[in-house]
Amino acid sequence: MAVKFLAVVIPALNEAATIGDVIGRCLAVCRHSGFEATVLVVDDGSTDGTAAAARAAGARVLAHPQNRGVGRAFQTGLDAALESGADVIVNIDADGQFDPERIPDLIAPLLAGRADFVSASRFKDPALVPEMPRLKVWGNRFMSRLVGSIARQRFYDVSCGFRAYNREAALHLNLWGDFTYTQESFLELAIKSVRIEEVPMAIRGVRAAGRSRVASNLWRYGWRTLKIILHSYRDYWPLHFFGWISLPFMLLGLGLLTGFLLHRLLVGSFRPQLWMGFSGAGLLGLGVLILVTGVMGEMLKRIRLNQETLIYYQKKARFERP
């Protein structure tokens, strides 16, 4: 794959202390590697001069008048990168945790034609796991296993914000989460059979300055991220999603009905265990209704995938290279 034009997307909220350095290093490594490149900073309602610092460093700034969340900021940057005609889109955080000099390593699988979407991985190589709180390490690994089990692929780090997309993968992304985009991107692209690769990298475990606006509260971050993952699971794998929910109701209902019938055979009467019969029938019926919801979801999924195909071609026409 030959790269004619590369766009670097940087969502930013109050990152004036570090964003100038990140932009300068991104532009320098792209020039050194021979890529024509632009840096697109999405200022997500900053109040500390982030936009001015980004412009001074040579970036094009796209401003949200108020904070809309890093997920929405990423989508704004992605659309702008496609509109600019980029062949490869790299997204990197503004906080200085990621090394822009590794951009050539990140996009290498795209250039070699092995992958369409590449993510840096902090945990794929045990020797490169960064210094960070153990709870964060456990949480990241749990999310990676959960997303991997849903997508039926092995993922090591689905939360890293240093990634690269070829144009086709970017056109396939239709994200809905405002809070974050990282885990949802993996699920979106996995169901569309986009080739995904993780590149092990040594990454700073803590920010160079300030504190994270996304993961400052781990419980809040975990809960909101889990909701995004479950929404994607529900929409793209509805029979599995509702099937797992229905299973305990159906098993408990069948168990109660079995006990009810055994009591009738052994004692010769349904009394005094009528409650088992009514409860078992109610739980079994509820389980069946939940399973039927999954079947209906599969029908809606077909409609959604057809709509996603139409959106893909609309975006392809809208973002036709200038």
pLDDT in tens, 171-188: 999 888 778 888 999 999
> What amino acid occupies position 10?
I
pLDDT at residue 213 in the model: 54
- Pair 97, 120: CB distance under 8 Å: no
How much is the CA Rg of the chain, to the nearest whole Å?
24
Stretch 53-67: mean pLDDT, rounded?
94
Q: Cis omega (within 30 of 0) on the bond before 238?
A: no
Torsion of CA 123, 244, 236, 44, to 10 degrees: -50
pLDDT at residue 133 in the model: 81
Phi, psi (rounded to 5 degrees) for 45: 80, 30
Classify burial at 217, counting beta carbons within 10 Å of its beta carbon; exposed 0-12, middle 13-18, buried 19 or more: exposed
d(CA 102, CA 81): 20
Q: Which uninterrupted H or E stretch holds 61?
A: strand 60-64
pLDDT at residue 115 in the model: 96
Stretch 66-80: mean pLDDT, rounded?
93
Stretch 216-222: mean pLDDT, rounded?
73
pLDDT at residue 72 in the model: 92
Q: Which whole-number Å values give the CA distances from 183 to 150, 180, 200, 270, 322, in the listed order?
A: 11, 8, 17, 52, 31
Stretch 34-40: mean pLDDT, rounded?
93
pLDDT, mean over the chain: 90
- Pair 20, 48: CB distance under 8 Å: no
Q: What is the pTM of this model?
A: 0.83
pLDDT at residue 313 in the model: 93
Q: How confident is the model at residue 322 (pLDDT cuts 50, 70, 90)?
A: low
For 290-307, give one letter per residue: b (16+ CB within 10 A) or e.
bbebbeebeeebeeeeee
3-state DSSP percent of the chain in helix, strand and coil, to 5: 55, 10, 35
Highest mean pLDDT among 22-31, 121-130, 266-275: 22-31
Is the per-residue pLDDT at 141 higher than 80?
Answer: yes
Stretch 116-143: mean pLDDT, rounded?
89
